[in-house]
Structure 1
């Protein structure tokens, strides 16, 4: 049984709010860390929204202490990952027991500085820079001796119509062969799993652990049939964040879209490092398929 009773979620966006709802449903103490300039968020009854300057470690630590926070969960977007850094100091000052960095995607282990990327390009353009920052942040937590828990989930099915250009063009556009398997885990399943393990597993089974989820597995060419349209293979994606989408599709073609991917060996992991290996920790749960997640 978990001994964690108080949680702080940093960021109330795509994954942050679902995690907050899932934790609140388990009747534990939850606060939402929100930027000073953020718009109001709708949260469950009993969840307090605290506006904080993320860059002020002392102010953040004071909030953690006031609410006796055991676990900090970062749910920041890829464009805001650098904001996590002052939170390491804040968590250390407040003696936080566990920190879950904002991963919720493809594995970031092995993406060290200079790995085909540049952190100066973090403004939503360079996926390798994002993975590099994620890996670096995990190393920062180790250096600060703050126990961490990481969640590798593969892709959100909910973004695939946008990613492949279906909303813009009515067809599925893919960079590469589209034949490489990718892990998919719905936002609802991610949030539910996170809340489940953090409130049921003992600290010894959570500290410095990585959980690899997989609700469904598919190749990108399958999305033509799923969306009832044609598949077009292209060299690049145009339109909103086209450069980023092009790079993400290229990375999925490399195999890195699997939650079991090992970037160092360029291969799938096995055992506890295999895609979906953590699914068994939520016994009895029915994981959503891509079709179910998208209500197709």
Structure 2
């Protein structure tokens, strides 16, 4: 057992909601004592739902308001960040508040592909955070989970399978990891409560529900939906690189570039650390 009993979660968006629900399940089971949810708006339907389930929902003016966030985090053993997008630049302040509040472990907002060694563009905030955590002496745990199997099939990312048209980087043959957000929540909360603290601090967990290339995904989708034909287009790596050079914060081009290089094949090295974890295959979400 980790000895971590009191948790705080910053952000209840695309992944945070699922982790919050699993923490609250653990609270009902007696594994977790308290769950604090930080949000900038405690009046949303989601905030109210989590409060009704037993979360202590606390509104903070901003995640970089260190004094306010420190006060909200008092008593938390572990702080989990699920803030995303431009807000990830606020994570060093959140980590400082966690340290000042007495937290013993910090979980940065990763929930994606391999980020190690990336220091520019959309990856820069993650690298800056890890350097800051080392500087302030706050132990941390990373979770690399690949793409969200239950969410990623959207036109915004050129992955709208149901629209009949998708666009992949390079030749579409690079492997990619897929894990549903429900399964991510289950694994994360189990790891943070059941594994010894010394096996958490400084550890990167690599987990996946399944692994396929995007070309394989198209074939699996068409097999599950007989009579459906998905049009596939490919963007050369050279074009993606040019787009990123022109705009280092071009999220879609960066993702397509990294997917094409296999950097979102995180592996399943740590699936076996919880043998009872049986993640759903990506085909469940087509």
For the aligned pair, the TM-score class normalised by the smaller chain equals 0.7 to 0.9
The Cα shift of 1:40 comes to: 4.1
* Cα distance in structure 2, aligned partners of 1:72 and 1:45: 19
Number of paired residues? 258
Q: Which runs of 5+ in 1 are unaligned?
A: 118-128, 238-242, 260-274
Q: Quick one: which of 33, 48, 51 aligns to 2:56?
A: 48
Q: Quick one: which of 25, 28, 40 aligns to 1:35?
A: 40
The Cα shift of 1:36 comes to: 4.3
**Is the 1:174–1:231 contact (alpha carbons within 8 Å) kept by the matching residues of 2?**
no
**Is the 2:221–2:283 contact (alpha carbons within 8 Å) kept by the matching residues of 1?**
no
**Is the 1:183–1:217 contact (alpha carbons within 8 Å) kept by the matching residues of 2?**
yes
The Cα shift of 1:167 comes to: 6.0
Where 1:221 maps in the other structure, the secondary structure is helix
Q: Which runs of 5+ in 2 are unaligned?
A: 223-228, 241-249
The 5 Å alignment of 1:56-205 reads 56-65=65-74, 68-112=75-119, 117=120, 129-162=121-154, 163-166=157-160, 169-205=163-199
Where 1:277 maps in the other structure, the secondary structure is coil
* Cα distance in structure 2, aligned partners of 1:186 and 1:231: 25
TM-score of the pair, normalised by structure 2: 0.84
Provide closer, same or farther for how the CA distance between residues 169 and 45 of structure 1 changes in structure 2, counting only shifts above 3 A: closer
Where 1:160 maps in the other structure, the secondary structure is coil
* Cα distance in structure 2, aligned partners of 1:183 and 1:191: 16
The Cα shift of 1:158 comes to: 2.5
Say which structure is richer in helix.
Answer: 2
Where 1:8 maps in the other structure, the secondary structure is strand
* Cα distance in structure 2, aligned partners of 1:45 and 1:157: 26
Where 1:227 maps in the other structure, the secondary structure is helix
For residues 104-130 of structure 1, the C-alpha deviation after alignment (integer angstroms, 9 at most, x for no partner) is 001211012xxxx4xxxxxxxxxxx22
**What is the alpha-carbon root mean square deviation over aligned residues?**
2.1
The Cα shift of 1:175 comes to: 2.1
Where 1:79 maps in the other structure, the secondary structure is helix
* Cα distance in structure 1, aligned partners of 2:152 and 2:78: 31
**Is the 1:104–1:151 contact (alpha carbons within 8 Å) kept by the matching residues of 2?**
yes
Partner residue, 2:211: 217
For residues 221-275 of structure 1, the C-alpha deviation after alignment (integer angstroms, 9 at most, x for no partner) is 12222332324223389xxxxx53233112111111111xxxxxxxxxxxxxxx1
* Cα distance in structure 1, aligned partners of 2:43 and 2:257: 33
**Is the 1:31–1:48 contact (alpha carbons within 8 Å) kept by the matching residues of 2?**
yes
**Is the 1:106–1:153 contact (alpha carbons within 8 Å) kept by the matching residues of 2?**
yes
**Is the 2:171–2:234 contact (alpha carbons within 8 Å) kept by the matching residues of 1?**
no
Identify the range of structure 1 (162-171 vs 175-184) with the bigger mean alpha-carbon deviation.
162-171
The Cα shift of 1:34 comes to: 0.2
Where 2:153 maps in the other structure, the secondary structure is helix
TM-score of the pair, normalised by structure 1: 0.81
Partner residue, 2:7: 7
* Cα distance in structure 1, aligned partners of 2:132 and 2:278: 35
Partner residue, 1:291: 283
The Cα shift of 1:184 comes to: 1.1
